[in-house]
A = this chain, B = another copy of it.
Amino acid sequence: MPANGFSNLKAVVFDTFGTVSDWRGSITRMGEALARDKGIDGVDWEAFARSWRAGYRPGMAKVISGEREWTTVDVIHRERLEEILPQFGLGDTFTEDEKADINLFWHRLDPWPDSIPGLIRLKSKYLISPLSNGSLVLLASMAKRAGLPWDFVFSSDMPKAYKRDPKVYRSAVELLGIEPHQLMLAAAHNDDLAAARTEGLRTGYINRPTEYGADQVKDFEAEEGWDVITDSVEGLADQLGC
């Protein structure tokens, strides 16, 4: 890709969980804070975070396959929470209201340290938005709390489809009224970028090798020749000349 290869680029959209936000660290910290408040001992909250996340792909897979009708990630998160609480000895610890609030941990994820500085730079030149499997209310609440400077929000409940369904990438291109090559997806997940490239989008790989901690089995490096390969949102801004 030549230095001026992005001269027609209009917008950069981001995978959120893992790429922009550190879900594992955030859920761990919120769990530990909750435990201190409630006097709960002996829970490995980092393992809790990983276990909670492990229900995400299977939950979406049932929707993607058509086995289950459209269901938001908020519902998928809540169902998985009910599954894992007993596994961590917390089956009878929380009221319904408390569980509803714990489910909102996913609305309060902290960004990686490079995310906001990089997004502010990218925003000066491009329209920026999440392109995430999160719900609108999750993504908007997360951005509001954390100060993510999105120009707008693409959520999975707009097309009622989850990545890697081609419909998601196509709906973003259509709503922006641009050509696919004028849009870049930035993501820490090779398969997300592969699906975007198939639809004609530009691709930016942001390496997040610690995203899943002990559960990480892939995405330790770029597996294809993505248009940009970097290890931070600031690195993406560098390569896009922002």
Q: A72-B177, A74-B177, A177-B72 are in contact. Are A140 and B157 (CB under 8 A)?
A: no
Whether A177 touches B127, Cβ cut-off 8 Å, given contacts A152-B152, A153-B152, A153-B153, is no
In the assembled complex, how far is the CB of residue A37 from the closest CB belonging to chain B, in whole angstroms? Answer: 25
So how many copies of this chain end up in the complex? 2
Give bound CA distance, A158 to B176, whole Å: 11
Q: Does A144 have its Cβ within 8 Å of any Cβ on chain B?
A: yes
CA–CA, A72 and B143, complex, Å = 28
Q: Chain B residues near A151 (CB, 8 Å)? A: 140, 143-144, 153
Choose the segment among A110-118, A131-139, A229-237 that binds chain B (4+ C-beta atoms closer than 8 Å).
A131-139
CA distance A150 to B155 in the complex (A): 15
Q: A150 vs B152: C-alpha distance in the bound complex, in angstroms? A: 8
Docked complex Cα distance between A139 and B176 (Å)? 11
With an 8 A cutoff between CB atoms, is A141 at the interface? yes
| A residues lining the B interface (CB < 8 Å) | 72, 74, 123, 127, 129, 135-137, 139-141, 143-144, 150-153, 155, 157-158, 174-178
